[in-house]
Amino acid sequence: MILADENIHYSLIKELRRLGFIVFAIIDTELRGISDIELIELANKRSMIILTRDRDFLKKAIRRKVKTGLIYIAIAITKDNYREIAGLISRHLNRARNNLMIVYRDYVEIISLK
């Protein structure tokens, strides 16, 4: 399961769902505005991989020991590229578990969180 931070473009969330992924989107819930620490705790408790574009959050998540995985999108999400981003995530999601996956325009980088 993917936990989409509220900074994730909704078209990407919808595309990931269309591809068959379960995406828990903060933007869809009453949890909007929760702190970064609460988001990390929620992901750890529910074994969800966090999806974010927030570089400051990325640093906190690594320090706070995100246990299940983290996907950081390093490029802007637009109406022209969200399908490509979803495709990259889809092809590499199995490698994101317990790792940091950084999504660039044409490739992903995997870094161990251990």
Say how far apart CA 114 and CA 109 lie, in whole Å.
Answer: 16
Position 86 confidence tier, pLDDT thresholds 50, 70, 90: very high
**For residue 23, what pLDDT is reported?**
98
**For residue 63, what pLDDT is reported?**
79
Quick check: 50 and 26 in contact, CB under 8 A?
A: no
In the predicted model, is pLDDT for residue 77 greater than 80?
A: yes
The helix (run of H) or strand (run of E) holding residue 46 is: helix 36-46
> Could you tell me how far CA 61 lies from the centroid of its own chain?
12
**For residue 61, what pLDDT is reported?**
81
In the predicted model, is pLDDT for residue 20 greater than 80?
A: yes
DSSP state of 27: G
**For residue 12, what pLDDT is reported?**
98
- Tens of pLDDT, residue by residue over 43-70, are 999 999 999 999 888 888 877 778 889 9
Its CATH class, for the domain covering 2-112, is alpha beta
**For residue 62, what pLDDT is reported?**
79
In the predicted model, is pLDDT for residue 112 greater than 90?
A: no
From 31, 69, 30, 29, select the one nearest 52 (Cα to Cα): 69
**Cβ-based neighbours of 45, under 8 Å, separated by 6 or more:** none
**For residue 81, what pLDDT is reported?**
94
Quick check: 103 and 75 in contact, CB under 8 A?
A: yes
DSSP state of 70: E
Share of the chain above pLDDT 70, in %: 100
**For residue 107, what pLDDT is reported?**
93
Angle at 56 between CA 96 and CA 87, to 5 degrees: 35
Domain residue limits, the chain? 2-112
